[in-house]
Amino acid sequence: MRKYLSVMRIAWGVAREHAVDFFGRFLIFPISILLLYLIWNVVFSFTPDIGGFSMKTMINYYLAVSLMILSYRRFWAIHYNVFSDINEGNLSIYLARPIDYQFQWLARMVATLSINVLFTLPVLVISSFLMQLPLPNLMSLLLFFISIYLSAAVLFFIQFCIGTLSFWTERIFATRDLLLNIQSLFSGAIVPLAVFPSIVQEISNYLPFRSIYFVPASIYAGYFSNIEALYNLGIQVFWVFCLFVLSRSFFNKGLVKFDAKGG
């Protein structure tokens, strides 16, 4: 455990050094929210409710999604980090160390996410307050905080699975792009899943992608009751476990091939 805490401390320091770049990306945040506000203001002028979302709930939802996308930015590079380590031979160096390869990457990402959340969560709450949007109660805020880490874990293990395909092929980016397109539809990053037709919502219930954005953002926006939020946290835990097992299986089977080639 001490080894992974050391990795997290190093990653925490690196994240702080890149704080200027992180804050620079905040510059587009007000613009994107303003555009979304104007678009949904027109839509809601025809109806007070869309898929159970009111105008204020919808804007709160997009505030949460926008800041989660910003906080998860480094998670999208995990597949490429694994791809590079495998194809450039760096994996052999990691394997020679007394530390688990997958867990050290996870420790790095947890540290990076923690410092990002430390900055973005207050911005999220303050933005809701300034826009006179409903603020989540302490219970909802706590569940949202937990859900963020679970959603990031889902994203991490999906990205890690893609990266481990490099053991068998160097052409992993077509798979990445395919999954990215599917994820864009079923994660709730574009629009809340509740807005889609029932068939799309039903399909999303059998996929892990809704756990990435839709679940945590819906908790923050108040779309879920506390009971519904707890149920969806349980679904997130389920997908984290399944994707961990899957990614671990891919990695262990790939290592056999890697060792056989003298990697």
pLDDT digits over 148-203, tens only? 999 999 999 999 999 998 888 877 888 888 888 888 889 999 899 999 999 999 99
Q: What is the pLDDT of residue 16?
A: 52
Residue 111 has pLDDT above 80, yes or no: yes
State whether the Cα torsion 127-133-137-141 is positive or negative: negative
Residue 105 has pLDDT above 70, yes or no: yes
Spatial distance between the Cα atoms of 73 and 51, rounded to a whole number of angstroms: 29
Tell me what percent of the residues of the chain surpass a pLDDT of 70. Answer: 87
Q: What is the pLDDT of residue 108?
A: 85
Average pLDDT in the chain: 84
pLDDT greater at residue 235 or residue 179: 235
Q: Are 216 and 64 in contact (CB under 8 A)?
A: yes
Q: What radius of gyration, in Å, describes the C-alpha atoms of the chain?
A: 19
Arithmetic mean of pLDDT, 245-251: 94
Amino acid symbol at 219: I
For the stretch 11-46, pLDDT in tens is: 445 555 555 555 555 566 677 778 888 888 888 888
pLDDT greater at residue 248 or residue 134: 248
Lowest mean pLDDT of 20-34, 93-107, 247-261, name the range.
20-34
Q: What is the pLDDT of residue 3?
A: 54
Tally of domains in the chain: 1
Beta bridge partners of 50: 53
pLDDT greater at residue 102 or residue 241: 241
pTM (predicted TM-score): 0.87
Spatial distance between the Cα atoms of 154 and 66, rounded to a whole number of angstroms: 18
The parent domain of residue 158 ranges over 2-260
Q: What is the pLDDT of residue 2?
A: 59
Spatial distance between the Cα atoms of 53 and 101, rounded to a whole number of angstroms: 42
